[in-house]
Amino acid sequence: MALWALVSAVGLAVDDRVLVGAPIWAKPFKFFVSFAAYGLTLAWMLAQTTWGRRTGWWAGNVVVVTSLVEMVIITGQVIRGKRSHFNAETPFDETLYTVMGLTIVVLWAATLVIAVLLLRTPLADRATAWAIRGGVLIALVGAAVGFLMAQPTAKQRAAGDLDTADVIGAHSVGVPDGGPAMPLTGWSTTGGDLRIPHFVGMHALQLIPLFLIVLVLLAPRIARLRDAELRLRLVRVVTAGYAGLVALTTWQALRGQPLIHPDAATLIAAGVLLAAVAAGVWAALRTAPEPVSVHPVSVHTETEPASDSKEFTA
């Protein structure tokens, strides 16, 4: 995946074709990078399992095979100058899209198996256990948002010609795909976009464990973070807040609302979520014990004068 991300980057530089309003190599580039991060993270998580390791080995290889099939089809369609997702233009294109749908279902199921193994694996550090399990469960929810994109849109249903339609499903809600979009991400700026909760949710797999890693790295400098219970409480708060963010962005997208143009209801919900996370962090810090400072102590032997005694530093 990392190698083909580089190939896709070259494609972005030398191939000026545009498909559905975006550079044609943008989609494979983003997918290759995402799958590389996804695979590396799952591999690390599988290394933590002590129960069902054989099952985990099979599930991990299923993730590898299905993601490779997915990317072969996406890249092949780019070479042909065709869209890979939602394409029902010809029987061949429709078959490829059907295969992609099946491979993603199998990949999701394999990730679910890995999640079950992680839930059953006892981990010594409770904060690590919470970060791993919370990250993979939220990632499963984020991945499941992709199934919403595969459903016919309201406009496509209203047209009543799904059997002969060239496109079935969409990223955007309330507007056609390929309209005005944010730079880099390509997310719609005029309507809802289900790729946002899909992206946010799936990357919980990396971001929540990374949050814990940051806490551990800061612990030598910030004495309070050396407390394992405090780290556990902070990870719990962030995991709950992250789940709330996935729910909020999904709700916003389904209402056909652009990420950068929230209405009053979205702003209020975001404010409530932010306040809840801040309150949780404050409560966690407030209940954490104050660090105990240890100062050097000089110990003198009783058989010699203090002036020339041997000193031992505790």
Angstrom distance (rounded) from CA 136 to CA 108: 11
Q: Which residue type is seen at 172? A: S
Joined together, the tokens standing for residue 177 give 């795909």
Q: What is the pLDDT along the chain (314 residues), one digit of tens a residue?
A: 999 999 999 999 999 999 998 999 999 999 999 999 999 999 999 998 888 999 999 999 999 999 999 999 999 999 999 999 999 999 999 999 999 999 999 999 999 999 999 999 888 899 999 999 999 999 999 999 999 999 998 888 888 778 788 999 999 999 999 999 999 899 999 999 999 999 999 999 999 999 999 999 999 999 999 999 999 999 999 999 999 999 999 999 999 999 999 999 999 999 999 999 999 999 999 986 666 554 554 444 444 444 444 433 33
User: 191: which 2 tokens?
Assistant: 């309507």
pTM: 0.87
Token pair 């939602």 is found at: 86
Contact at 8 Å (CB) between 67 and 43?
Answer: no
Q: What are phi and psi of 226, to 5 degrees?
A: -75, -15
Going by C-beta distance under 8 Å and a sequence separation of 6 or more, which residues neighbour residue 133? 115, 118, 119
pLDDT score of 149 = 95
Dihedral angle at the C-alpha atoms of 59, 65, 66, 70, nearest 10 degrees?
160
In DSSP terms, 167 is beta-bridged to: 87
